[in-house]
Amino acid sequence: MNNERVKCLIIGSGPAGFTAAIYASRAALEPVVYEGLQPGGQLTTTTEVENFPGYPQGVSGQQMMADLRAQAERLGADIRYGMVTEADLSKRPFKVTVDDEKVIEAETLIIATGATARYLGLPSESKYRGMGVSACATCDGFFYRGRTVAVVGGGDTACEEALYLASICKKVYMVVRRDVFRASKAMQERVAATENIEVLWNSNTQEVLGDDMGVTGMRLIRKDGVVYEKAIDGFFLAIGHHPNSDIFKEWITTDENGYIVTDGRSSKTNVPGVFAAGDVQDPNYRQAITAAASGCKAALDAEKFILENK
Ligand code: NDP
């Protein structure tokens, strides 16, 4: 194995990773970025981004990530294709293995590996992804103004997304697999008080229905065996996210859902010199702009750490 020593290693290439790379490059940390399995991150799977400041006409997720990448590269970031497969954070420099073969020794490490939205796993759901199937109401809800949509899930995220969608859509169905919500009482009460949300209890999705233009409906099966259909234009998944923190768990403190715990308002993890940014440490906001901001914080924290530990 051939080792390489770097000042700042960034893992992940979403808004958090690239923003960290932009700031770290300007601070002369000569960052190396490994892009991971999904270069550009979750945004590359959305169609249009309308809520990122600075794009008055909106921008495609792909384009925005290409712009961020180009900006980081122009400032000097060394962006590489590769998947981190192992990490030893027991002492500095941290040892991070890429693609099971190359070992990078890093003085500081920024984890920006993101989170992966959970999907049901139906073939029809994959078929209409980006054509009516989405896992982010805040990103895509706007396109369903005045229309009918469904949200799958009964947790806080599902309720929050249903409430948001109810404010812009004609009608929102919530597809809940049990006869109770998992969400907090406060959220449940808000959902119950919203006239255009109808909860379909004890129901699981059998199939997302559609045509060449996209989603047109869903076929559900109730616990008592009754199969029924509803006409919808959008199908939103809110059955949880999985933060991509697994390979760091041996060293890094995470909460009960796997999100990396950071110290107060900083990006510091429990391991000095290791910082976390973006969705891997954020179960609440999960927006491109908040991820970018936390990437900035991580690079500033890494810069300070290097200065203090010279
Ligand atoms: P949760 O794990 O809390 O809820 C997931 C929901 O999806 C549950 O209702 C679950 O059903 C359902 N579900 C899971 N798998 C399937 C499936 N295959 N088919 C159908 N339904 C399924 O995830 P959330 O993303 O809602 O929340 C994650 C964490 O973030 C929680 O701790 C939550 O409280 C927190 N959060 C807080 C917010 C706030 O305070 N404003 C906002 C958003 C999240 P079942 O109950 O049957 O398991």
Length of the chain equals: 310
Q: Are strands 48-49 and 59-60 parallel, antiparallel or unpaired?
A: antiparallel
Q: Which of 237, 261, 291 is the last residue of a domain?
A: 237
Say if residue 128 is in the same domain as residue 230: yes
Are 275 and 301 in contact by the 8 Å Cβ rule? The answer is yes
Mutate to test the pocket of ligand 1, among 116, 118, 156 (most ligand atoms within 8 A of CB): 156
Residues 17, 100, 39, CA angle at the centre, nearest 5°? 30
d(CA 167, CA 289): 22
248 and 232 assigned to the same domain? no
Of 275, 248, 292, nearest to 96 (Cα)?
248
pLDDT of residue 138: 81
Q: Of 205, 237, 269, which closes a domain? A: 237
298 vs 24: CA distance, rounded Å: 9
In DSSP notation, the chain reads: --EEEEEEEEE--SHHHHHHHHHHHHTT---EEE--SSTTGGGGGSSEE-SSTT-TT-EEHHHHHHHHHHHHHHTT-EEE---EEEEE-SSSSEEEEETTTEEEEEEEEEE---EEE-----HHHHHTBTTTEES-HHHHGGGGTTSEEEEE--SHHHHHHHHHHHTTSSEEEEE-SSSS--S-HHHHHHHHT-TTEEEETTEEEEEEEEETTEEEEEEEEETTS-EEEEE-SEEEE-S-EEES-GGGTTTS-B-TTSPBP--TTS-B-SSTTEEE-GGGG-SS---HHHHHHHHHHHHHHHHHHHHHT-
The pLDDT score that the predictor gives to residue 106 is 98
Whether 139 is a known active-site residue: answer yes
- Tell me: do 88 and 38 sit in the same domain: yes
CA distances from 250 to 246, 247, 269 (A): 8, 7, 13
Domain match, 100 and 163 both: no
Given the residues 8, 88, 139, 159, select the one marked as catalytic.
139
Q: How many domains does the chain have?
A: 2
**Rounded distance from Cα 200 to ligand 1 centre (Å):** 16
Residue 92 in contact with ligand 1 by CB distance below 6 A = no
pLDDT value of position 47: 65
**How far is Cα 236 from Cα 229, in angstroms, rounded to an integer?**
16
Domain extent, residue 78, equals 2-116+241-308
What is the rounded distance in angstroms from the CA atom of residue 253 to the CA atom of residue 255? 7
153 close to ligand 1 (CB < 6 Angstrom): yes
Measure 159 CA to ligand 1 centroid, in angstroms.
9
CB of 233 closer than 6 angstroms to any ligand 1 atom? no
- In contact, 198 and 172? CB cutoff 8 Å: yes
Which residue out of 67, 78, 100, 140 is catalytically annotated?
140
How far is the centre of ligand 1, averaged over its atoms, from the C-alpha of 241 (Å)? Answer: 9
Q: How far is Cα 132 from Cα 215, in angstroms, rounded to an integer?
A: 5
Q: Are residues 296 and 245 in the same domain?
A: yes
The reported pTM is: 0.78
Helices 156-166 and 185-192 pack at an angle, to 10 degrees, of 30
Q: Final residue of a domain: which of 218, 237, 256?
A: 237
Residue 190: predicted pLDDT? 96
Does the CA dihedral 64-67-69-75 come out positive or negative? negative
Short-list 35, 122, 123, 19, CA closest to 75: 19
- Annotated active-site residue 140? The verdict is yes
Cα–Cα distance between 294 and 297 in angstroms, integer? 5
* Dihedrals phi, psi of 43, to nearest 5 degrees: -65, -25
If asked whether residues 247 and 233 sit together in one domain, one would say: no
155 and 207 both lie in a single domain = yes
State which ligand 1 atom lies nearest to the alpha carbon of 182.
46
The answer on 47 and 62 residing in a single domain is yes
Q: What is the pLDDT along the chain (310 residues), one digit of tens a residue?
A: 568 999 999 999 999 999 999 999 999 999 999 998 888 887 876 667 888 999 999 998 889 999 999 999 999 999 999 999 999 999 999 999 999 999 999 999 999 999 988 999 999 999 999 899 999 888 889 899 999 999 999 998 899 999 999 999 999 999 999 999 999 999 999 999 999 999 999 999 999 999 999 999 999 999 999 999 999 999 999 998 899 999 999 999 999 999 999 999 999 999 999 999 999 999 889 889 999 999 999 999 999 999 999 8
112 and 142 housed in the same domain: no
Are 105 and 6 in the same domain? yes
CATH value at residue 213: 3.50.50.60
Residues 127, 75, single domain; the answer is no
Q: Are residues 30 and 42 located together in one domain of the fold?
A: yes
